[in-house]
Amino acid sequence: MSSHLRAQHFTNARATNFYYSFVFLSREKRQAIEAVYAFARRSDDAADNCLSPEEAEQELSHCRQDLDRCYTEFADPSAKDFTPELAALAEAVHRFNIPREHFEELFRGIEMDLRPVRYRTFEDLSLYCYRVASTIGLISIEIFGYRNPCTRKYAANLGMALQLVNILRDLESDARRGRVYLPEEDLERFGVRPESFLEARPSDRFQELMEFESQRARRYFAQARQALPPEDRRSLVAAEIMGALYWRLLARIERKGYNVFGERVRLPRPLKFWIALSVYAGAEWQ
């Protein structure tokens, strides 16, 4: 990928929480994680761009074909027709020996969104969260570098926590697209109708439901922290920054009384930079 394209992709990422995690990486690792992020975003867009299920499946099939080329053709000097973005992904895949199985699981997770279904239990939802979020964490630590195999458990749990926060934050916008991720068993337990997510009037029962789900996310944050080996913490500072940002985002949702309707809950950019700097300097974020 040309330096111009790399700079453009990195600049475009500033609107996301990922930017503040990537900024402290070495150039080589930053370019690799940006390539992975761009490919994951492209694949996810197949489910999110209002395409018909058939069109979305076709687009996802193209993504699979491109991934296959990254693993099988990149070493071939005659492969001249790689786009800059695909070449950057192929370079990342080979330089950091990223297991293909993580990408395949990601695809399976995205496929779960092509024809939205309701999740009966949290066990059902957790499979989805693992596929669309934990896999990104497992790919990322291959780029960041680690020595202790326990770090994989850290990455999986942190991915679960981040995805649960995303689900709480995006409750209304997901419902408008016909997607309700919170388990049916939880909705029934607290007497909350999924249709109420479109009414933008949080009730006491809704707040109790959200508090329950918030505590579940916090448990995954705690499990991630417990699984992080001390010897790998420095190499995983980018992941720790991401964890810190989402931890604060969850806290903001809680302070708003779980009113996630209307304007999307966000962290101000100056606060994001301060959190990133603090974690980079070694501060505890929980």
Instruction: Please compute, for residue 285, the number of CA atoms within 13 A of its CA located in the half-sphere on the CB side.
Output: 31
- The answer to whether the beta carbons of residues 39 and 1 sit under 8 Å apart is no
Query: Could you tell me where the DSSP H helices lie in the chain?
Result: 3-12, 18-22, 27-48, 53-72, 84-95, 100-114, 122-129, 135-144, 151-169, 171-176, 184-190, 204-227, 237-255, 269-280
* 155 closest CA partner among 71, 114, 98, 91: 98
Question: How far apart (Å, rounded) are the C-alpha atoms in residues 234 and 237?
Answer: 5
Q: What is the pLDDT of residue 114?
A: 87
Q: What is the pLDDT of residue 261?
A: 93
Q: What is the pLDDT of residue 48?
A: 75
Is a pLDDT exceeding 70 seen at residue 6?
no
- The answer to whether the beta carbons of residues 249 and 16 sit under 8 Å apart is no
* 69 closest CA partner among 99, 90, 46, 97: 90
Average pLDDT over residues 60-87: 83
Q: What is the pLDDT of residue 47?
A: 80
Predicted confidence band of residue 73 (pLDDT cuts 50, 70, 90): confident
Where residue 233 falls (left for φ over 0; alpha for ψ -120 to 50; beta otherwise) is: alpha
Is a pLDDT exceeding 50 seen at residue 11?
no
Report helix angle 27-48 to 53-72, nearest 10.
150
**Domain residues of the chain, as ranges?**
1-98, 116-286
Residue 178: exposed, middle, or buried by beta-carbon count in 10 A (0-12, 13-18, 19+)? exposed
**C-alpha distances in angstroms, 191 versus 85, 119, 123, 168, 256?**
47, 16, 20, 17, 21
Average pLDDT over residues 103-123: 92
> pTM of the predicted model, to two decimals?
0.91
Mean pLDDT over each residue of the chain, to the nearest integer: 90
Average pLDDT over residues 237-253: 97
The CATH number for 116-286, chosen from 1.10.10.60, 1.10.150.130, 1.10.600.10, 3.40.605.10, is 1.10.600.10
